[in-house]
Each structure stands twice: as C-alpha cells, then as structure tokens.
Chains A and B, each alone.
Chain A
Amino acid sequence: MTPLVQNLAVLVLAGFVGFTVISKVPNTLHTPLMSGTNAIHGIVLLGGLIVLGLGVDGVFNKILLVIAIAFGTINVVGGFLVTDRMLSMFKQKKPEDDR
C-alpha cells in the first residue's frame, strides 16, 4: 500500500470513530464537548513544528511558521484550560451531593 492509501484508510476509520464516540452526548455537555474538540484540532501545531523544525528557507516563511505555531499553541493551551474551567463547574456539586 502506498502511504496515500494507508493514510486515507486511517482518515475514513477516524471519521467513523468520531461519529460513534460523539453521537450520544447529553445537551448539558455540548459546550464542553465543543470546546474540548476545539482544543484537539489545535494539533495543527504539530504541522507547524514539523515544517519549521525540518527547515525552511527565507525569513518570511519562518515568520509565517512562528505565527502558525503561536496560533496552534493558543488553540491547544487555551482550549484545554477553558474546557477544564467549564467542566469543573459541573463537577463542583458532585462531592457536595455525595457527602
């Protein structure tokens, strides 16, 4: 199999996994879920790291990539932190109820 075919297979399977995992989410968690998946697509950060790390020519390209990496990092770090803040509000009451 060529890399393209392998990658396409992974792509299609991942799409189905995504559908299956997410299809039963209560309304209550829609916001945290959206913000959590939002953080996950910050993985484009890896793309920036690879392209910059393996070397590009030209100052302009380097500037673009530094911006891209900064953007990706904001997406990842901000996304996970915001999701955690939202979720911790849902969690707060559980220990109270259990006590």
Chain B
Amino acid sequence: MTEFIAILYIISFALFIYGLMGLTGPRTAVRGNWIAAVGMGLAVIATLLTPGMGNWLLIILGVGIGVVVGVPSARKVKMTAMPQMVALFNGVGGGAVALIAWVEFNSTDGYAHEPAYIAIASLFAAVIGSISFWGSNIAFGKLQELISGRPITLGKAQQPVNAALLVIALGCAIAIVAGADSGILIIGLLLAAGILGVTSVLPIGGADMPVVISLLNAFTGLSAAAMGLALSNTALIVAGMIVGASGSILTNLMAKAMNRSIPAIVAGGFGGGPAVSSGRSAEDRPVRSTSAADTAIQMAYASKVVVVPGYGMAVAQAQHTVREMAKLLESKGISVAYAIHPVAGRMPGHMNVLLAEADVPYEQLKEMDEINSEFAQTDVALVIGANDVTNPAAETDPGSPIYGMPILKVNHSRSVIVLKRSMSSGFAGIDNDLFYDPKTSMLFGDAKSSVGEIVEELKAL
C-alpha cells in the first residue's frame, strides 16, 4: 500500500510540473492550471489512503471549513482586488505550515526521539511559515487599505529590531534541537518569527508590493518543502521546491524591473529618507492642465495613441471605460496600444489581468522593451494613474533614488497627457519631471470619471 501511495505521489507531482509548463503560455494556461489541480486532488486522495488514517470527522470538518470559506471568496473577489486575495491565500498556506510544525513539536515531546534533521526541517518550516503568514496578512492589510500603504518604519531601530527577532527565533530553534522541550520555546519561536513578518512588511511601500508578494510566495513554498523533509513526503518536497524556485525567479524579475536589490526592498521603503526632488524646487515649475474635451480632440486627430496604465487605473477600476475609449479611437482609424511596465500595479502582471478582464486584445498589450522604440512615432501617450514607471529622472538624474530603473519612455512621444488625481508624488515619494515637460498636459481627477468624460467627448465629435 505504501508503494502504491508513493507512486500516486509521483504521478501527482508529474502533473504539477506538466501543469506549470502549461502556465508558461497563454494558450495552454487554463488547461495547465486544471492539470495541476488534478495533481493536487490525486495527492490528497493518496494521502487519505495511507494505512491507519483516522480522525475522519475532524478531517472532514477541516476540509469543509476550508471549502466553505475558500470557494465563495475566490468566486466573488473583484479582479481589482486580486493582489490582496493572492496575498491572503499565500498567508493561510504559511499559517498551515507553522501550525503543523507546532503540533509536531507538541506530539513528539519537543522532537525528543526524532533525528536532528527532522527537528531542524520542522523548525525551519515553522519560522518561515510564521513569517509568511503574518507578513502576508500585513500585505493584505496594505493592499486592502486597512493599513496605510506608505512605509511605516521604526526608523533607525528597524534593522536592530528585525535582527533581534531573528536571533530570538533562531535561539529558540537551537535550544529545541539541542534537547530543550519546553512548550514556551516553540511559542517564542512562532511569535518572534511572526513579529518579524509584521515588522519586515510594514516598512515596505505599496509600489514594492509585487516583489513582496512573490517573495512571500517563495517563502511559503520553501516552508512546505521543509515540512516535506520532516514528514518524509515526496509530494510536499517537490511541490514546495517548485513553488520556492518559481517564486524566487519572479521576485528576481520584479526586483530587476525596479533596478533594486531584494535586500534593499526588504530593508524597507526607499531608505525612509525624505522625498528627493531633482535639485529644482517643484512649486515654481509651471504645470499645464487640460480638459477632457481638449484631450478627446487631441486624440481624435492622432494616428497613434499609447495608453500607459498604472495603479491609479486599478484603484479607479477604469479598465472597462479605458477599453470603451480605445474602441472609439479605433473606430476612427487610430492605432491604440497599451504599454505595460513589469511592475505597474501591485502584483506581477497586474495590468495585464485588468485589461484582459476588459477584453483588450492580447496583441495590443506591449511589454516595455517592445513599446519603448514605438514612443517616438506616438502622437499621444495617455498616462492613466502611472507615475514612477514613467519618470525620466530614472534615466537622466543620477541623484534620483530610482536612477537606473528601466522606465517607459513616455517623454519620447509627441505629446503626453497625464490623468492623475492631484500633483502628489508616487509611492516612491519622488517628484516626476515628466509632469513639468512642455509636451505634457495634466488632466486632474479620478481616472474613471476622466476617461468617462473623454468617451462622451469622443462620441460627440
């Protein structure tokens, strides 16, 4: 029977890998996701076939609660709320790992009769799982705007406090491995790691959230793999490692797209320093503001319009209105494309998901490298709620905190219209030179109502 189960596990992780291979292309992605889900179902069935399984009522209770909570929330969540939903699902996974490790500690009298490697793997899982659970909850709170999205730091105490928490967690772990079996140690470990999760994510600004979410995703994967080592369960090991590896790749891609190192992001905010402007004071520079009617006319006489969406579009839920506007422009023979910066929004690929929801054709979504060469032929670049990813200071001002970050070269187009609620700076807290460019005009207001007005004007033309 155990061999049969082992074989089922092998089939199930083969399905995970095959399913993930499908997720790498848009045509095969839906099927890939379901193949992975079938693998998961098989792994659960195999586990339930383990000889000596009992406590069926409690198992059914646990799974039942999970289904009752999980299914409706996954079905009802709005596409714009997707980043926080993913953060939450990620968090509960990490929480599950931490709880299992806690029970293992309790039921083995502090790993008294277990080999040291089991204790180490289980405690590693507990630390990472706890960090991931609390960190993800804070990320959820920030994205849901229950907590301020701005960096919240402890100032200079930040690094020493984090280091101290890590030392406490590791200290508890070492004491347990060395033979201590006091229940306070495991609680101390989970608590210290949990607080560390909170204090590490609190200082991270909203713009860095894509990196944080994929980093926490990788963490939960690694903790699952470690739990697999402790339980000697191949399905857990393989699945956990794959998630750990893919999460690390995504994290790295995101960090590169912002030209920042992962340690620098985790260390918090943009250094927590004051907003840096590029030498000249912001107030005395003129800003041209425009109206929806003028914007509509300007675009109606263009031959190529590029839409640059950002978090502002997501917040205003303006994607459908934007699509309507694009359709009107296309009906006038104007070519429309969307410029997608890899870290626009609050989640990797956030803008793609929103625009796909609004039925924007896949071919119109252009990645940064592709679209940057096209801005020179663009008549109007319409920036909707994007800020830092268009800031030319990243290319021209070595003193700027975002210097070196790859940007969308919006300023190369013939004219730029920026839709924005106010002149406030982006999450990075940096002034955007683009707004003061003579080619740029600002259309102030909520993205959705502004675009809505443009649509009305376009219809009237």
Interfacial residues, chain A to chain B (CB-CB below 8 A): 3-4, 7-8, 10-11, 14-19, 21-58, 60-62, 64-94, 97
20 contacts between A and B (CB under 8 A): A18-B241, A21-B17, A31-B348, A32-B33, A34-B348, A36-B20, A37-B20, A38-B220, A39-B89, A44-B236, A46-B44, A47-B227, A49-B53, A61-B103, A67-B95, A69-B63, A72-B96, A77-B70, A88-B30, A91-B26
Which stretch (B298-306, B353-361, B376-384, B397-405) binds chain A? Answer: B353-361
Q: What are the residues of chain A within 8 A of B228 when measuring CB–CB?
A: 7, 11, 47
Q: Mark B220-253, 1 if CB is under 8 A from A, else 0.
A: 1101110111011111111111111111111001
Bound CA span A67–B95, Å:
9
Number of chain B interface residues as a range: 35 or more
Contact between A82 and B100 (Cβ–Cβ < 8 Å)? Answer: no
Q: What are the residues of chain A within 8 A of B361 when measuring CB–CB?
A: 93, 97
With known contacts A22-B24, A61-B103, A74–B82 Cβ distance under 8 A: no
Contact between B58 and A22 (Cβ–Cβ < 8 Å)? Answer: no
Interfacial residues of chain B within 38-62, with CB under 8 A of chain A in the complex: 40, 43-44, 47-48, 50, 52-55, 58-59, 61-62
With known contacts A11-B241, A44-B227, A66–B58 Cβ distance under 8 A: yes
With known contacts A22-B24, A62-B55, A68–B103 Cβ distance under 8 A: yes
Which stretch (B73-81, B150-158, B443-451) binds chain A? Answer: B73-81
With known contacts A31-B82, A57-B107, A71–B99 Cβ distance under 8 A: yes
Nearest CB to that of A31 among chain B residues?
A: B349
Bound CA span A29–B213, Å:
15
Contact between A73 and B62 (Cβ–Cβ < 8 Å)? Answer: yes
A contact face: mostly helix, strand, loop, or mixed: helix
The CB with the most chain B CB atoms within 10 A, among A55, A86, A92, is that of: A86
Bound CA span A88–B79, Å:
12
Q: Return the contact of A77 from the options B27, B66, B221, B359 (Cβ within 8 A).
A: B66
Q: Mark B134-146, 1 if CB is under 8 A from A, else 0.
A: 0000000000000
Contact between A11 and B352 (Cβ–Cβ < 8 Å)? Answer: no
Contact between B237 and A14 (Cβ–Cβ < 8 Å)? Answer: yes
Bound CA span A77–B40, Å:
10
How distant is B43 from chain A, measured CB to nearest CB, in Å?
A: 6
Q: Mark B94-117, 1 if CB is under 8 A from A, else 0.
A: 011101101110110000000101
Bound CA span A10–B103, Å:
25
Q: Return the contact of B86 from the options A10, A65, A82 (Cβ within 8 A).
A: A82
Q: Return the contact of B235 from the options A8, A11, A26, A46 (Cβ within 8 A).
A: A46
With known contacts A32-B33, A43-B239, A70–B117 Cβ distance under 8 A: no
Bound CA span A18–B347, Å:
21
Q: What are the residues of chain B within 8 A of A35 when measuring CB–CB?
A: 82, 86, 89
Nearest CB to that of A42 among chain B residues?
A: B93
Bound CA span A3–B59, Å:
28
Bound CA span A71–B54, Å:
20
How distant is B320 from chain A, measured CB to nearest CB, in Å?
A: 12
Q: What are the residues of chain B within 8 A of A57 when measuring CB–CB?
A: 107
Q: Return the contact of A73 from the options B63, B99, B249, B348 (Cβ within 8 A).
A: B63
Contact between A68 and B40 (Cβ–Cβ < 8 Å)? Answer: no
With known contacts A36-B33, A50-B50, A82–B74 Cβ distance under 8 A: yes
Q: What are the residues of chain B within 8 A of A36 when measuring CB–CB?
A: 19-20, 23, 32-33, 36
Bound CA span A65–B86, Å:
23
Bound CA span A14–B246, Å:
11
The CB with the most chain A CB atoms within 10 A, among B25, B29, B77, B239, is that of: B29
Q: Is B415 an interface residue (CB 8 A)?
A: no
Bound CA span A18–B55, Å:
35
Q: What are the residues of chain B within 8 A of A42 when measuring CB–CB?
A: 40, 89, 93, 96
Q: Is B423 an interface residue (CB 8 A)?
A: no
Q: What are the residues of chain B within 8 A of A52 when measuring CB–CB?
A: 55, 58-59, 62
Contact between B242 and A21 (Cβ–Cβ < 8 Å)? Answer: yes
Contact between A18 and B227 (Cβ–Cβ < 8 Å)? Answer: no
Q: Is B162 an interface residue (CB 8 A)?
A: no
Q: Is B90 an interface residue (CB 8 A)?
A: yes
Bound CA span A56–B52, Å:
12
With known contacts A25-B23, A36-B23, A69–B59 Cβ distance under 8 A: yes
Q: What are the residues of chain A within 8 A of B13 when measuring CB–CB?
A: 14
Q: Return the contact of B244 from the options A18, A26, A81 (Cβ within 8 A).
A: A18
Q: Is B37 an interface residue (CB 8 A)?
A: yes
How distant is A47 from chain B, measured CB to nearest CB, in Å?
A: 5
How distant is A99 from chain B, measured CB to nearest CB, in Å?
A: 14
Bound CA span A28–B29, Å:
11
With known contacts A68-B99, A75-B89, A53–B350 Cβ distance under 8 A: no
Q: Return the contact of B89 from the options A27, A65, A66, A79 (Cβ within 8 A).
A: A79
